[in-house]
Amino acid sequence: MDNTRPAAGIVKALRTLAGMSQRELAEASGVAASTIGRIESGAMDPSLETVSKLAAGAELGGRVVKTMTAEQLWGESAKLIPNPVMRTMCAHTAMAAADQVLEGFRLGTGYQPGQAVHPGDPFGKVLAWLWLTDRAAAMLTLADFCAQLRDHGRDPAPVTLDDVLAGLTFAMPARFPDAEFEALIAEARRMVPGMYGRPF
């Protein structure tokens, strides 16, 4: 079994972000639940037609998948987005979320230590997708968000990583699996503080 195959990540990400069980996705797509399980475990590589059915069933990215060749799809390591576009998207997502948070601080009472810092639902959706398809990019995007808050905040007390992680609880998709969220938080505590040279 090799669940590091790109197809495994794509199918799991589509299903998880849609908030569907394997059985629910099977009913919606017409692909057997046992086949979905084998794809997600890495036991088989699906055809492009099967991935297209699953994407359409999950109502996520179906049009993108259908217009790509199998070589392009697998060559992008489950991202479905070229690397330069992915980097730009991640940087913009982090910057936009930080700007929104900092503007909220300026218009309100400012940042208070111990206050959960909600990065916004769009940031949570992007972070969830990244976590399921490219964990390194997820950590880099989260670290970039923290760095933007640190470097551009005007409050006397710096925003802490703990407060950012507490805010993620409210930003992630509603049916993002608890086990994945706990793993994301643990990885963030391990990786993010050292990514920009100064601790958060």
Q: What are the domain boundaries of the chain?
A: 6-75, 83-194
Q: Can you give the three-state secondary structure of 134-189, one letter per residue?
A: CHHHHHHHHHHHHHHHHHHCCCCCCCCHHHHHHHHHHHCCCCCCHHHHHHHHHHHH
Asked if residue 133 lies in contact with residue 73, where contact means CB atoms within 8 angstroms, the answer is no
The one-digit pLDDT tens for each residue of the chain (200 residues) are 444 455 667 777 777 767 788 888 888 888 999 999 998 888 888 887 787 788 777 764 333 444 344 344 334 444 456 677 778 888 899 999 999 999 988 888 788 888 899 999 999 988 998 888 788 889 999 999 999 998 888 877 788 899 999 999 999 988 888 889 999 999 999 999 888 655 44
- CA dihedral defined by 168, 140, 134, 71, rounded to 10 degrees? 140
Q: Which CATH superfamily is domain 6-75 in?
A: lambda repressor-like DNA-binding domains (1.10.260.40)
Is the pTM higher than 0.75?
no
Q: Give the CA count within 13 Å in the CB-facing half-sphere of 193.
A: 10
